[in-house]
A and B are shown apart, each in its own frame.
Chain A
Amino acid sequence: MSSALNTSDALTEGAAQAAPAQLGYRQLIARRVFWLVAATATLAVLVVADILIGPAFLAGGDVLQALFLPSQASSMVRVIVHDIRLPMTLMAILVGISLGTAGVHMQTILGNPLASPYTLGFSAAAGFGAALAILTGITLPFAPWLTIPLAAFVMCAAAAALVFAFANIRGMSPEIMVLAGIATLFMFQSAQSMVQYLASPEVLQSIVFWLFGSLLKASWNNVPIVAACFVFASLIVLPNLWQLTALRLGDVRAASIGVDVKSLRIKLFAVVALLTASGVAFVGTIGFVGLVAPHIARMLVGEDQRILLPMSALTGAITMTGASVLSKLVSPGGVIPIGIVTALIGVPFLFFLILRGQRRHW
Chain B
Amino acid sequence: MSLQTKHLSVSYGTAPIIRDFSEPFKTGQVTALIGCNGAGKSTLFKAMAGLSPMKGHLLFAEHLLTAAEQRQHIAYMPQDTDATSSLTVLEVVLLGRLGKLGMRLPTSLVGEATTALQTFGLATLENRTLNEISGGQRQLVYLAQALFRTPKVLLLDEPTAALDLRHQLLVLDRVRTYARDSGACVAIALHDLTLAAQFSDRLIGLKDGLVVAAGTASDVLTQQNLQAMYGIKADISRGPSGKIQVTPLHAV
Contact = CB atoms under 8 A, between A and B. Distances in A.
A257 interface: yes
A16 to B, nearest CB: 9
Contacts of A241: 103
A18 B92 contact: no
A4 B173 contact: yes
B89 to A, nearest CB: 10
Q: Is the interface of B mostly helix, strand, loop or mixed?
A: helix
Interface string A299-329: 0001110100000000000000000000000
Contact of A258 (B92, B99, B111): B99
Contacts of B117: 21
Interface residues of A, number: 42
Nearest to B42: A252
A21 B127 CA distance: 9
A259 B90 CA distance: 19
A255 interface: yes
B59 interface: no
Contacts of B177: 8
Interface in B38-87: 46, 49, 51, 71-72, 75-78, 82-87
B88 A21 contact: no
Contacts, number: 126
A256 B51 contact: yes
A356 interface: no
Interface stretch (B6-14, B118-126, B205-213, B214-222): B118-126
Contact of A22 (B51, B71, B110): B110
Tell which of B49, B101, B132 has the most Cβ of chain A within 10 Å.
B101
Given A10-B121, A303-B91, 12 more contacts: A17-B118, A21-B126, A22-B114, A24-B126, A246-B98, A248-B86, A249-B95, A256-B49, A258-B72, A298-B86, A302-B87, A302-B88
21 contacts: A8-B177, A11-B121, A11-B173, A11-B174, A13-B118, A18-B115, A28-B127, A245-B87, A246-B98, A248-B87, A249-B92, A249-B95, A252-B51, A256-B49, A257-B145, A302-B87, A302-B91, A306-B103, A359-B86, A359-B132, A362-B84
Interface of A: 3-4, 7-8, 10-15, 17-18, 21-22, 24-25, 28, 111, 241-243, 245-246, 248-250, 252-253, 255-259, 298, 302-304, 306, 359-362
